[in-house]
């Protein structure tokens, strides 16, 4: 059974999923998953879903859909996302770019007092898949912190138990250097042999300038084959105009 320390709960208003569905971050995530998926391997998506709209104007970075260099990253996925008609995680689940037999857990993340039961149900619903992509908005929270926007360390450990492959997205913060954050991150999950791809792409601002968007994609319990796939995906991201990627 999962045990979470709620003594340092910092519950807050989280980013939500539907308003961001299909943006450049999603394209990178799904291209990454499709690049890492091995034939015959079943995948589970742990969405860490938040319903509603937070009123922010974020999540409209779809200029990649007009850029041929982005299309080259994953042409089939690019075409699929370009044909979608709305913005919802449910619509994305119904599209055909997922590996065959992909399972989804989309129950909304609850408040802290109901978190353990939610996490146990999430892990149980994905127990039969070979690999899990955990998709919390802010990656993994610090030890003892429970936030709707983040996975907890105990949840990630439960997902990666028994050698199962786990893919995880992380958005580094500004409170420490990225090198220090990555070092600490890998130390926390060192027994799962973490490997991380650091990516940076530029998105268009309203005034016509661009800003960097940094995302890390980690693999836990990977093997030599997954390392080769990660290196190949890194090279493909780096080929995009204004983007870069490096393995850590």
User: Does residue 231 form part of some domain?
Assistant: yes
CA distances from 152 to 58, 147, 155 (A): 25, 8, 5
User: Does residue 243 form part of some domain?
Assistant: yes
Q: How many angstroms separate the first and last alpha carbons of the chain? A: 32
Structure-model confidence comparison of residues 102 and 60, the more confident one? 102
- Rounded CA-CA distance 155/143 in Å is 11
Structure-model confidence comparison of residues 87 and 43, the more confident one? 43
Check residue 162 and report its DSSP letter: G
- Rounded CA-CA distance 143/153 in Å is 7
Contact indicator for 82, 93 with CB cutoff of 8 Å? no
Residue 1 has pLDDT above 70, yes or no: no
The string of pLDDT tens digits covering residues 185-197 is: 999 999 999 999 9
Closest CA to 81 of 23, 128, 122: 23
pLDDT at 15: 39
The string of pLDDT tens digits covering residues 160-186 is: 999 999 999 998 888 899 999 999 999
What are the structure tokens assigned to 98, written together? 């997922």
Contact indicator for 246, 196 with CB cutoff of 8 Å? no
pLDDT at 52: 59
User: Does residue 13 form part of some domain?
Assistant: no
pLDDT at 4: 41
What are the structure tokens assigned to 55, written together? 């009123």
Q: What is the mean pLDDT of residues 190-211?
A: 90
Q: How many domains does the chain have?
A: 1
Structure-model confidence comparison of residues 47 and 86, the more confident one? 47
The string of pLDDT tens digits covering residues 67-125 is: 888 999 999 999 999 888 777 888 899 999 999 999 999 999 999 999 999 999 999 99
- Rounded CA-CA distance 30/207 in Å is 29
User: Does residue 155 form part of some domain?
Assistant: yes
pLDDT at 12: 30
Q: What is the mean pLDDT of residues 40-49?
A: 94
pLDDT at 16: 38
Check residue 18 and report its DSSP letter: G
Residue 248 has pLDDT above 90, yes or no: no
Q: Which of 11-25, 66-80, 143-157 has the lowest mean pLDDT?
A: 11-25
User: Does residue 46 form part of some domain?
Assistant: yes
pLDDT at 53: 54
Q: What is the mean pLDDT of residues 230-237?
A: 96
User: Does residue 66 form part of some domain?
Assistant: yes
Arithmetic mean of pLDDT over the chain: 87
Contact indicator for 123, 134 with CB cutoff of 8 Å? no
User: Does residue 8 form part of some domain?
Assistant: no
In DSSP terms, which residues pair with 134 in a beta bridge?
A: 46, 168
Domain that holds residue 149: 18-247
CATH of residue 35's domain is 3.40.50
Residue 199 has pLDDT above 80, yes or no: yes
Structure-token match 């539907």, residue found: 18
User: Structure pTM?
Assistant: 0.87
Q: What beta strand segments (E) does 66-179 contain?
A: 103-105, 131-134, 165-170
Phi then psi dihedrals of residue 171, to 5 deg: -110, 105
User: Does residue 6 form part of some domain?
Assistant: no
Q: Please report, rounded to a whole number, the percentage of residues in the chain having pLDDT higher than 70.
A: 88
Closest CA to 49 of 27, 20, 29, 78: 20
């Amino acid at each position: 059974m999962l045990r979470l320390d709620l003594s340092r709960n910092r519950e807050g208003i989280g980013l939500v999923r539907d308003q961001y569905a299909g943006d450049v971050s999603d394209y990178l995530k799904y291209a990454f998953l499709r690049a890492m998926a091995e034939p015959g391997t079943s995948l589970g998506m742990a969405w860490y879903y938040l319903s509603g709209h937070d009123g922010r104007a974020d999540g409209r970075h779809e200029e990649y859909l007009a850029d041929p260099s982005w299309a080259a990253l994953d042409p089939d996925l690019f075409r699929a996302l370009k044909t979608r008609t709305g913005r919802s995680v449910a619509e994305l689940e119904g599209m055909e770019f997922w590996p065959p037999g992909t399972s989804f857990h989309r129950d909304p993340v609850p408040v802290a007092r109901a978190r353990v039961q939610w996490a146990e149900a999430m892990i149980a619903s994905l127990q039969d898949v070979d690999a899990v992509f955990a998709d919390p908005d802010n990656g993994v929270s610090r030890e003892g912190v429970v936030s709707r926007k983040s996975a907890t360390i105990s949840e990630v450990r439960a997902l990666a138990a028994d050698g199962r492959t786990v893919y995880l997205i992380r958005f580094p913060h500004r409170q420490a250097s990225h090198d220090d954050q990555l070092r600490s991150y890998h130390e926390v999950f060192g027994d799962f042999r973490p490997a991380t791809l650091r990516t940076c792409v530029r998105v268009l601002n309203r005034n016509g300038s661009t800003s960097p968007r940094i995302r890390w994609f980690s693999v836990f319990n990977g093997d030599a084959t997954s390392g080769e796939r990660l290196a190949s995906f890194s090279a493909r991201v780096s080929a995009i105009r204004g983007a870069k990627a490096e393995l850590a």
